[in-house]
């Protein structure tokens, strides 16, 4: 979950989106998004594509380890 959340944060920042912006796009709370980015929450499988779409990335990028 930490890798996934860290990647959400990395790609959100690359797109110059605030947590507020992304939360509004996903129709979720900032608290949820913050906890997701910090690895405290997971995301349901059906929402991975929505998240990747909002970040304009392939869903597989959310699971990659930084090298």
CB neighbours (10 Å) of residue 23?
18
State the average pLDDT over residues 20-43. Answer: 95
| Entry pTM | 0.91
Tokens coding 62: 């959310």
Q: Spell out the CATH class of 2-63.
A: mainly alpha
Domain residues of the chain, as ranges? 2-63
Q: Which pLDDT band holds residue 67 (cuts at 50, 70, 90)?
A: low
The answer to whether residues 11 and 55 touch, using CB atoms and an 8 Å cutoff, is yes
- Do residues 67 and 21 lie in contact, with contact meaning Cβ atoms separated by under 8 Å? no
Nearest of 16, 23, 56 to residue 37 by alpha carbon? 23
Tokens of 5: 């959340």
Is the pLDDT assigned to residue 37 strictly greater than 70?
yes
Q: What's the full length of the chain, in residues?
A: 67
């Amino acid at each position: 979950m930490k890798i996934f959340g860290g990647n959400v944060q990395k790609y959100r920042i690359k797109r110059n989106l605030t947590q507020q912006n992304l939360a509004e796009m996903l129709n979720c709370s900032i608290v949820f998004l913050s906890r997701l980015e910090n690895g405290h929450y997971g995301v349901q499988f059906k929402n991975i594509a929505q998240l990747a779409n909002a970040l304009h990335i392939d869903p597989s990028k959310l699971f990659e380890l930084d090298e």
